[in-house]
């Protein structure tokens, strides 16, 4: 449970809010590279942190991310002509480069002199892992780019997906750091049928949190058999990443999942996922079937809150507990039906929610430290060994602990628990 004030601080992301200021200090995913695949191709509209932006790839292949609205009379530049190293507004022909400089204003007699005075908002971009990234903070404070492990892998083995989630980003993050729900919401058989998988058989995992400089990691420990325990170790990287461990068995035993929840605004979120596997290519079609996230051209799920996720009440009793196709749709259904912004004053938390509580505290503390003392979050530290920060699944003797079995990687130190 949070106070009204804490809930407000956690969830509001607009410019000038404490969380909005914190998020603007990070590089984060803006859109898929495939949305602006072609030089001089169609621009893409992108809403991020409550700001309407337009992305385009210019003649030289550079990606610009500008204020969507022309600084002249505010028509959408997404209608414009992308040609000759710039985007030309359809309305009066004003033309802008990826740096936001005005290159032409054909309706103005002063020509180049007039242009020199006009500049539109432009954010820097980077391309990595099939995604265009951006930094929306003060230019002089731009941090090092996070060199996450999967960003250096070939595109066949690390594949991004983008899905619109119709709710605030924080409840979307929380839905993925809650190991206990896996054996219930995602139960692959009806409720009355005994579970097949470890997490379906043991519904009461023991969760242990370790705070680190980049956020936290937690182990969800379950009984495997009389001699061995089973742990799933999830990494939670500030501000809004969750690294989900592999299955550890079956045909995709080494496939890992990265979730990234970029606020579109206060009430909607870009759920960016990467699946990566060092041992084999990602099967994209299989993944979409498994996730159940068939989408329209605006990345909205075809099974969404308006059609109640096409929940099949007969299937709930005879086939699969949720009656909703695919794990992503199931996750989004529970997060979206919490309301556009979850009212955390009304919750009743239990022991399975410790990782959620820990993440909230960390993020609130980071936002306040920045707002009140100008303190930069440790997750921005350029020396963090990102390629070694990984989620893991392990079966190990019960005489040992999971922390002994999977120690923190070198260069990552423990951090103190935030006090609330
Ligand atoms: Fe889930």
Distance, CA of 228 to CA of 397 (rounded, Å)? 4
Ligand 1 mean position, distance from CA 174 (Å): 10
**Long-range Cβ pairs for the range 143-148 (8 Å, 24+):** 143/25, 143/26, 143/27, 143/380, 143/382, 144/380, 144/382, 145/27, 146/27, 146/384, 146/386, 147/386, 147/387, 148/258, 148/386, 148/387, 148/389
Distance, CA of 63 to CA of 56 (rounded, Å)? 6
Structure tokens at 188: 């692959």
Ligand 1 mean position, distance from CA 323 (Å): 14
Ligand 1 mean position, distance from CA 309 (Å): 15
CB under 8 Å to 140, separation ≥6 — which residues?
Answer: none
Per-chain residues with Cβ under 5 A from ion ligand 1: 331
Q: Write down the pTM of the prediction.
A: 0.96
Structure tokens at 154: 């070939």
Ligand 1 mean position, distance from CA 340 (Å): 18
State how far the alpha carbon of 235 is from the alpha carbons of 211, 217, 220, 257, in Å: 10, 4, 11, 11
- 270-284 b/e (C-beta count within 10 Å ≥ 16 → b): bbbbbbbbeeeebbe
Ligand 1 mean position, distance from CA 338 (Å): 14
CB 361 within 8 A of CB 367: no
Structure tokens at 106: 């054909």
Structure tokens at 228: 């061995």
SS3 173: helix
CB under 8 Å to 272, separation ≥6 — which residues?
Answer: 29, 131, 160, 161, 162, 259, 260, 261, 262
Ligand 1 mean position, distance from CA 186 (Å): 6
Distance, CA of 246 to CA of 14 (rounded, Å)? 35
pLDDT the model gives residue 378: 86
Ligand 1 mean position, distance from CA 104 (Å): 50
Strand pairing category for 122-123 and 215-223: unpaired
Strand pairing category for 51-57 and 44-48: antiparallel
pLDDT the model gives residue 204: 87
CB under 8 Å to 113, separation ≥6 — which residues?
Answer: none
pLDDT, tens digit, for every residue of 86-134?
A: 999 999 999 999 999 999 999 999 888 999 999 999 999 999 999 999 9
pLDDT the model gives residue 420: 55
Ligand 1 mean position, distance from CA 337 (Å): 14
pLDDT, tens digit, for every residue of 170-222?
A: 999 999 999 889 999 999 999 999 988 878 888 888 999 999 999 999 999 99
Q: Which residues of the chain have pLDDT under 50?
A: none
Distance, CA of 136 to CA of 130 (rounded, Å)? 19
Ligand 1 mean position, distance from CA 224 (Å): 21
């Amino acid at each position: 449970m949070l106070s009204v004030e804490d809930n407000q601080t956690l969830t509001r992301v607009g410019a000038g809010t404490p969380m909005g200021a914190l998020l603007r200090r990070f590089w984060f995913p803006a859109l898929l590279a495939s949305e602006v695949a072609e030089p001089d191709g169609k621009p893409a509209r992108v809403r991020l942190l409550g700001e309407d932006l337009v992305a385009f790839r210019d003649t030289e292949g550079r990606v610009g991310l500008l204020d969507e609205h022309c600084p002249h009379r505010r028509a959408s530049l997404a209608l414009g002509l992308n040609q000759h190293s710039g985007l030309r507004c359809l309305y009066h022909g004003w033309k802008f480069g990826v740096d936001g400089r005005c290159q032409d204003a054909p309706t103005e007699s002063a020509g180049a002199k007039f242009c020199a005075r006009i500049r539109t908002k432009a954010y820097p971009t980077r391309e990595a892992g099939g995604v265009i990234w951006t930094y929306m903070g003060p230019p002089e404070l731009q941090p090092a780019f996070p060199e996450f492990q999967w960003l250096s892998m070939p595109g066949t083995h690390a594949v991004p997906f983008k899905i619109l989630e119709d709710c605030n980003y924080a409840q979307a993050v929380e839905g993925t750091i809650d190991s206990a729900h896996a054996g219930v919401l995602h139960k692959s058989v009806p409720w009355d049928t005994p579970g097949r998988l470890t997490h379906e058989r043991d519904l009461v995992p023991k969760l242990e949190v370790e705070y680190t400089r980049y956020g936290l990691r937690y182990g969800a420990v379950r009984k495997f058999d009389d001699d061995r325990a089973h742990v799933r170790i999830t990494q939670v990287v500030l501000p809004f990443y969750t690294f989900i461990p592999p299955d550890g068995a079956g045909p995709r035993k080494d496939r890992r999942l990265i979730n990234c929840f970029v606020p579109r605004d206060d009430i909607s979120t870009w759920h960016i996922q990467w699946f990566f596997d060092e041992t084999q290519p990602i099967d994209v079609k299989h993944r979409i079937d498994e996730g159940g996230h068939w989408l329209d051209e605006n990345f909205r799920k075809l099974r969404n809150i308006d059609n109640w996720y096409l929940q099949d009440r007969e299937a709930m009793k005879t086939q699969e507990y949720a009656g909703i196709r695919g794990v992503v749709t199931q996750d989004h259904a529970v997060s979206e039906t919490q309301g556009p912004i979850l009212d955390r004053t009304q919750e009743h938390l239990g022991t399975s929610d410790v990782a959620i509580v820990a993440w909230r505290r960390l993020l609130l503390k980071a936002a306040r430290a920045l707002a009140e003392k100008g303190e930069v979050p440790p997750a921005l530290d350029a020396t963090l060994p990102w390629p070694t920060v990984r989620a893991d699944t392990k079966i190990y003797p019960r005489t040992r602990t999971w922390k002994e079995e999977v120690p923190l990687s070198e260069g990552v130190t423990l951090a103190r628990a935030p006090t609330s």
